[in-house]
Amino acid sequence: MVFIRDPCGIACLIVTYGAVFYADYVVMRWIILTTMPVSIWAPFHVVLFNTVVFLLGMSHAKAVFSDPGIVPLPANRIDFSDMHTTNKNNPAGNGHSSEWTVCTRCETYRPPRAHHCRICKRCIRRMDHHCPWINNCVGERNQKYFLQFLIYVGILSLYSLVLIVASWVSPCEECNQNVIESQLRMIHSVILLLESALFGLFVTAIMVDQLHAILYDETAVEAIQQKGTYRPNRRKYQLLADVFGRGHPALWLLPCTSLNHASRYHDTPLLSHDV
């Protein structure tokens, strides 16, 4: 389990939890309880909305506390004074020597596509970017949970918008509401409408970026460094399975560990140079 002590990341976590709890409060108290107390749809929406909240919380917690793919530090300090000869010696031993790089900050060799994160202060396998909203890096081992989190925020935003608009379009005639209650409901509805629109658009934009990065096999870091083009073309399904696991696609949205989740580089042995 990892937890990064970054004030910006911790503030973003608090904002995220606050926004989700507020959405749940407004939908339960001011939309379902107030506008559909006698409707048969009320229990259906209570269960479905809270299920999405639960899955959102699960995927977020997994993204926050999972190891994004931290490259272990070597047991002994590595002497880089003979780097020019070491490169020729093929440190990976598998024909990928040119893709293995040296991190002078971690003082270690790192596998292909790993990059150093200044906030996590470690090298991360297939690092995409450091995301303050999960207070963690998005890397090889937690990108699946990050994507699930984005998808559930998107679903929750859309669901909230639909419920708010429905409560305005077909108001409850038999509900006995006083003026203050009605005004409070309107204020909370407008705030949630703005929140849902804002977060919905935000996660949609990030999701498009993430899917582009996965399907074109180029992380955000590599896109900046223009390093993604040397890789052979692979099928889009395989690229998605690298992130979401080898299980059936129907299971890809479940925020649990897929047992047969194996990526190309998971089994690459790390170096332990004794100097």
In the complex, minimum distance from the CB of residue 119 to Zn ion, in angstroms, rounded to a whole number: 5
Residues near Zn ion (CB under 5 A): 103, 105-106, 116-117, 119-120, 123, 130, 137
**Nearest alpha-carbon partner for 16 in 139, 157, 144, 163:** 157
Dist CA 24 CA 210 (whole Å):
27
Which CB atom, from 27 or from 134, has the smaller least distance to Zn ion?
134
172 is catalytic: no
**Nearest alpha-carbon partner for 68 in 137, 22, 12:** 137
Which CB atom, from 130 or from 185, has the smaller least distance to Zn ion?
130
Determine how many CB atoms are found less than 10 A away from the CB of residue 229. 9
Which CB atom, from 120 or from 156, has the smaller least distance to Zn ion?
120
In the complex, minimum distance from the CB of residue 213 to Zn ion, in angstroms, rounded to a whole number: 16
From the list 106, 117, 120, 131, the catalytic residue is 131
Which CB atom, from 8 or from 165, has the smaller least distance to Zn ion?
8
In the complex, minimum distance from the CB of residue 41 to Zn ion, in angstroms, rounded to a whole number: 43
Which CB atom, from 9 or from 200, has the smaller least distance to Zn ion?
9
Which CB atom, from 121 or from 236, has the smaller least distance to Zn ion?
121
Which string of b and e fits 145-159 if b means at least 16 CB within 10 Å?
Answer: bbbbbbbbbbbbbeb
CA distances from 20 to 49, 154, 219, 244 (A): 11, 12, 28, 25
Dist CA 216 CA 234 (whole Å):
9
In the complex, minimum distance from the CB of residue 209 to Zn ion, in angstroms, rounded to a whole number: 17
In the complex, minimum distance from the CB of residue 130 to Zn ion, in angstroms, rounded to a whole number: 3
In the complex, minimum distance from the CB of residue 107 to Zn ion, in angstroms, rounded to a whole number: 8
Catalytic residues: 131
